[in-house]
């Protein structure tokens, strides 16, 4: 059996807004890995973007079904995630979306076209974001400790996905072959 047939069972963990989706899609661009293994529970969780496993019993159940090779933990400071997630403002009538950092309105809090006030979705409000991040942390701490004890946890820390990605990429190169060494996909 050639090295290219090697199956890597990896889990990507990280708080909401930590860049899991971006990292996952880059992994599938660069490596011979499918985004997802079989198992309806996993697929269902991935499609909803909820991240799995989130609790210790889930992690233990997953281990009984699959031998997990590596757990990639994206460790992004809460403050950074909070800024990222609370930067979104919406013009309800048109559905126009602004981002304070990347695509700000000409006047803060005002729609460029109509001059009407912008609103923030409940999900994007600082207090909601903080609540979600604290819940994530409390729920996943035992999961991360569990994988740490098993020796499969790899934590990558940083404030930007583009700065974290090269480290994840280098780590995965030691585990699986790349799809195409001269791929036109930027690192």
pLDDT tier at 184, thresholds 50, 70, 90? very low
* Average pLDDT estimate for 22-51: 61
Predicted pLDDT at 34: 57
Predicted pLDDT at 73: 95
Backbone angles phi, psi at 64, to 5 degrees: -70, -35
Per the domain annotation, does 3 fall within a domain?
Answer: no
Cα angle 179-162-83, degrees, rounded to a multiple of 5: 140
Strands 70-75 and 88-91: unpaired
The CATH number linked to 170 is 3.40.50.300
Per the domain annotation, does 161 fall within a domain?
Answer: yes
Span between the terminal Cα atoms of the chain, in Å? 29
Are the C-beta atoms of residues 90 and 119 closer than 8 Å to each other? yes
Best-predicted range by mean pLDDT among 32-46, 47-61, 63-77? 63-77
Per the domain annotation, does 185 fall within a domain?
Answer: no
Per the domain annotation, does 4 fall within a domain?
Answer: no
pLDDT tier at 58, thresholds 50, 70, 90? confident
Query: What size, in residues, is the chain?
Result: 187
Per the domain annotation, does 164 fall within a domain?
Answer: yes
pTM above 0.95, yes or no: no
Q: Which residue has the higher pLDDT, 37 or 55?
A: 55
Q: Which residue has the higher pLDDT, 10 or 129?
A: 129
CA 160 to CA 134: how far, in whole Å? 20
Residue 115 pLDDT exceeds 80: yes
Residue 114, CB-side half-sphere exposure with 13 Å CA sphere: 12
Per the domain annotation, does 187 fall within a domain?
Answer: no
Total structural domains in the chain?
1
CA 163 to CA 117: how far, in whole Å? 35
Per the domain annotation, does 183 fall within a domain?
Answer: no
Strands 10-14 and 70-75: parallel
CA 163 to CA 23: how far, in whole Å? 11
Predicted pLDDT at 50: 54
Task: Find the domain containing 149 and state its range.
Answer: 10-174
């Amino acid at each position: 059996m050639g090295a290219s047939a090697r199956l890597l069972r990896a889990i990507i963990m990280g708080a909401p807004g930590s860049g899991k989706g971006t990292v996952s899609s880059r992994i599938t661009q660069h490596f011979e890995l499918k985004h997802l293994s079989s198992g309806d529970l996993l697929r269902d969780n991935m499609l909803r973007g909820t991240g799995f496993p989130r609790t210790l019993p889930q992690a233990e159940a997953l281990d009984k079904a699959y031998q997990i090779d590596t757990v990639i933990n994206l460790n992004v400071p809460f403050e950074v995630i909070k800024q990222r997630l609370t930067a979104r403002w919406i013009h309800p009538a048109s559905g126009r979306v602004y981002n304070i950092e990347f695509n700000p309105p000409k006047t803060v809090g005002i729609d460029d076209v109509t001059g009407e006030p912008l609103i923030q979705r409940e999900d994007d409000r600082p207090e909601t974001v903080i609540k979600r991040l604290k819940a994530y942390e409390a729920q996943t701490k035992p999961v991360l400790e569990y994988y740490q004890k098993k020796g499969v946890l790899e934590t990558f820390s940083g404030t930007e996905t583009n700065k974290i990605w090269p480290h994840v990429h280098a780590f995965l190169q030691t585990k699986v072959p790349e799809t195409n060494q001269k791929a036109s996909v930027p690192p």
